[in-house]
A and B are shown apart, each in its own frame.
Chain A
Amino acid sequence: MTAARLATEAITLEPLARQSAPATSMLSVANLSKSFGPIAALRDVSLDIAAGEIRGICGENGAGKSTLVKLLTGVYRPDGGSITVAGRPCIIATPRQAQELGIALVAQELSLCPDLSVEDNIWLGSLQVPFLHKKPELRRRAAEALVLLGAEHIALAAKVASLSMGERQLVEIARMLTRDARVLILDEPTATLSDVEIARIFAALLAVKREGRSIIYITHRLAEVYAICDRVTVLRNGELIATVELADVDRAGLIELMLGRPSDEMYPEETRDEGPPALVVESLTVPGGIADFSTIVRRGEILCIAGQVGSGATEIVTALAGLAHDATGRVAVDGRALILGSPLRAARRGIMFVSGDRAGEGVFRRLSIFDNLVATRLRDHAVFGFLRRGSLRTTAAALAKKIGIDRRRVRARADALSGGNQQKLAFGRCLDRGAGGILVMNEPTRGIDVGARAEIYRLMREFCAAGYALVLASSDLEEVLGVGDVVITLYRGRQVGRYRRGEATMHRIVADITHPVEAAT
């Protein structure tokens, strides 16, 4: 049973709730703008959300959705524009003020403490809790909130650690309800949930709606927009493109609104013949991430795995890099089997990993650029464990030149570089490793400016020319289409489609990763 069908069932139970015409305005935003330096993250956005309305907000990565959320919740302060809550104009300067105004965010990363009980979590941080916190009154209100959400099966005394992801989401929403949230903002709430859990969340949201509260629902999954939202607002490049009644627009039209921009010329042309298969993956499975994934990657080719958060793309590349200890499946590098689960084994077979999480697992920020560049090739420049400084220096200088970093800066610390340049370090580390290289990348251009991106794409082609095979997991569809020789689309742990360059269109891919059911029909 799919999410969409379950969801529609949930909805058919409540046809009236959906049709009741929105009356008063709950949250109104006029000409909201925010820029960071020269970059305008949000330009002149105006919204009007009625009481009891569920408003979908769609847009590609970087369309300005999260900036809007941060403005509404007091994390950022707007450069211009006004916000009106329930008819009263107001300034939201801090998260606390947002809370007092009744604007609550359920972020993708939940703010629940796993070692605390459900009840404690619901009341955590609330100003209404007295010093002796276990009051029957509070317990009753917490229970009521859960009942309202249709989650009475969740025991108030249970530890949150014992709940499923969907149940945790419900607890988080219950917390917002007990704080008298009038506008509930949900940011991709279903990314990691199962079908049944999504249906539960939807039922809960409809209950909230019936109370006359408003919901802002941010998602990449168009099916969910149709299942639950009344109207949808589309953002693109920081601008509001349109706000439409869902009855007035079909899926294709919505995708049109979301994309609607010409792809720029930042992707170098492919220059290759059909290479030999470098990496053969058969029935790769990572529990909770990806199920039964198989593919072949050839030398000189870039395989892009496209999918949203929770699709399993990240799990595929981290498993190939040996970083997922519970991965199973057969992987062969150049015809020889590779046992998964050890980054060392993977590295020895020429698999190199570049992560978008530069600070966490990419770059050695406290070490020099030199150290970062030669990090993985010390073995080749050592005699009985002693390094040959001269040859290391020449190597580092050559690599710095290749990735476009001034060789005079190689003694500087890596964290003195911009994000883009740091990422180029991570790529530089993998260059020139003979013909056996396989590069696996996870969102490598996350948070990187356009100029550095273009250079990184150029580097990727250089890797291809050198006979590497590249696997790239990305949720940036423009990137996927721009660099991928082969594109595989994923939806919640399963492969949906596989396209060669030219076969794939933006529409096709968006359809696959947001709503494969419809795409199949």
Chain B
Amino acid sequence: MKPLLADRTLRPFLLLIVIVAAIWLLDGGQGRFFTAATAFSVLQQFATVGPIALGLGLTMIIREFDLSVGGMMSLAGCVAVLSGVGSPPLGIAAAVLAGGIAGLCQGGIMVRLRLGSIGVTLGGLLTFGGIAYVVTGNLSIAYPRMDIAMAVNQKILGVLSLRSLIALAAFLIAAFVMARTRIGRDVYAIGSDRRAALVAGVPVGRIVVGIFALSGMLAALGGSLLSYSLATASGVALTDALVPATAAAIIGGVSLTGGKGTPIGIIGGVLVLSLLRAGLNAIGTQPSVQDIVTGGVLLIVALADAPDLSRRLFAVQVYRKRAFG
């Protein structure tokens, strides 16, 4: 059991099993939950949060953080909806391109000016959000192609949809790159010890810029697909996407200290979160409970990753020893 738990990629999937079991028990065998419809809604949720969580997770693996994903997501939605009326794939391509350029700029600023990612992406978040507001005129703009909205959400094999398939494909490509290619190895090296990677000859600057470009592109992909499926885009997003995406990445085994975590693990993290939401919905709790659960999980993980936790625990032990023995 212990080696199973120690495997960061496997952990979210174990958690998944536990949650399924728990929901089954809570459900009391009424069959409210285990239907193809819930599976479909879990996967739709996965398609929404997944790409953003993946991009954010990749930036966390190199020990940075991309706060701008929320702003990028809403901006991309606007770009896709506005430019994709004639040809929907073109809209997505335009949005992803915009995301890539935006990420490239952010990464470039960080590497060139040696700035922390938090500050730069905070500026990026506000700027992208601002552009989205300007583009939409602070209104939600409708996407006139209902056929596309139907198409991306069309059920495939009962539980999947075009949207969730695209998200899944993004994850699988990322998983392959991270596990099998030199670039993936370099990414882990940078997150593990940036100085050592630099000394060993890893092109650190290029990879950092590339990861932020990728994060921008993934957020844009998620945002444009979401906008297509809702047939609307608006400038309001900001943290709405950021918190669940962060939680998913962290549950999925990505460490705040960098160098750890895999795309497959992040899939697990996103599924855990989506399943919790769907499960809590199905057994009839209020939506606010989902927030509480997400927040609680984030807090626990932040604590577990805190550098001084062990020191504090040690201090407690020493005091106990002194007091009682």
Q: Which residues of A contact B (CB under 8 A)?
A: 96, 99, 107, 109-116, 120-121, 124-127, 129-134, 175, 325-326, 339, 341-342
Contact = CB atoms under 8 A, between A and B. Distances in A.
A96 B181 contact: no
Interface stretch (B195-203, B210-218, B268-276): B195-203
B181 A110 contact: no
Nearest to B190: A113
Contacts of B191: 115
Interface string B205-242: 00000000000000000000000000000000000000
Interface stretch (B20-28, B49-57, B147-155, B314-322): B314-322
Given A130-B182, A132-B181, A115 B201 contact: no
B189 A124 contact: yes
Contacts of B186: 124
Given A126-B201, A325-B311, A341-B318, A113 B181 contact: no
**B188, B200, B259, B315 — which one has the most chain A CB atoms within 10 A of its CB?**
B200
A99 to B, nearest CB: 7
A133 B193 contact: no
B290 interface: no
A434 to B, nearest CB: 28
A129 B203 CA distance: 13
A339 B315 CA distance: 11
25 contacts: A99-B201, A111-B193, A111-B196, A111-B197, A113-B192, A113-B196, A114-B192, A115-B192, A115-B259, A116-B259, A120-B189, A121-B200, A124-B186, A124-B201, A124-B202, A125-B197, A129-B182, A132-B181, A134-B180, A175-B200, A325-B311, A325-B314, A339-B322, A341-B315, A342-B315
Contacts of B32: none
B260 interface: yes
B26 to A, nearest CB: 38
Interface in B158-183: 180-183
Contacts of A107: 199
A384 B200 CA distance: 55
A175 B196 CA distance: 13
B201 A116 contact: no
Contact of B200 (A111, A114, A133, A134): A111
Contact of A131 (B181, B188, B196, B197): B181
B114 to A, nearest CB: 15
Nearest to B194: A113
Contacts of B318: 339, 341
B188 A115 contact: yes
A326 B310 CA distance: 10
Nearest to B189: A113
A116 B202 CA distance: 13
B197 A133 contact: no
Interface residues of B, number: 25
B306 to A, nearest CB: 14
B199 A111 contact: yes
A325 B197 CA distance: 30
B180 A113 contact: no
Contacts of B180: 132-134
B308 to A, nearest CB: 9
Contacts of A132: 180-182
A132 B311 CA distance: 41
Main SS at interface, chain A: loop
A116 B314 CA distance: 29
Main SS at interface, chain B: helix
B128 to A, nearest CB: 30
Contacts of B181: 131-133
B182 A96 contact: no
B205 to A, nearest CB: 14
Given A96-B201, A113-B193, A134-B180, A124 B185 contact: yes
A472 B322 CA distance: 29
Contacts of B314: 325-326, 341
Nearest to B179: A134
**B185, B191, B201, B259 — which one has the most chain A CB atoms within 10 A of its CB?**
B185
Nearest to A96: B201
B15 to A, nearest CB: 22
B315 A124 contact: no
A112 B197 CA distance: 7
Contacts of A121: 200
Interface in B281-321: 311, 314-315, 318
Given A125-B200, A125-B201, A133 B259 contact: no
A258 B191 CA distance: 42
Contacts of B260: 115
Given A124-B200, A125-B197, A125-B202, A116 B185 contact: yes
**A111, A125, A132 — which one has the most chain B CB atoms within 10 A of its CB?**
A125
A116 B193 CA distance: 10
A342 B186 CA distance: 39
B50 to A, nearest CB: 24
B111 to A, nearest CB: 18
B195 A111 contact: yes
Contacts of B200: 111-113, 121, 124-125, 175
Given A124-B197, A129-B182, A325-B315, A114 B259 contact: yes
B317 to A, nearest CB: 10
A509 B6 CA distance: 48
A96 to B, nearest CB: 7
A120 B185 contact: yes
Contacts of B196: 110-113
Given A115-B188, A124-B185, A134-B180, 4 more contacts: A113-B196, A114-B259, A131-B181, A341-B315
Nearest to B261: A115
**A115, A121, A126, A326 — which one has the most chain B CB atoms within 10 A of its CB?**
A115
Contact of B197 (A113, A175, A339): A113
A509 B202 CA distance: 42
A115 B181 CA distance: 16
A194 to B, nearest CB: 23
Contacts of A120: 185, 188-189
A80 to B, nearest CB: 28
A8 B176 CA distance: 49
Q: Which 5 A-B pairs have the closest CB atoms?
A: A125-B201, A125-B200, A111-B199, A115-B259, A113-B192
Nearest to A129: B182
B159 to A, nearest CB: 33
B259 A113 contact: yes
Nearest to A120: B185
Contact of B193 (A112, A127, A341, A342): A112
A127 B202 CA distance: 10
Interface string B235-267: 000000000000000000000000110000000
Contacts of A124: 185-186, 189, 197, 200-202
A175 B191 CA distance: 20
B188 A113 contact: yes
A345 B97 CA distance: 57
A432 B191 CA distance: 46
B311 A131 contact: no
A111 B190 CA distance: 11
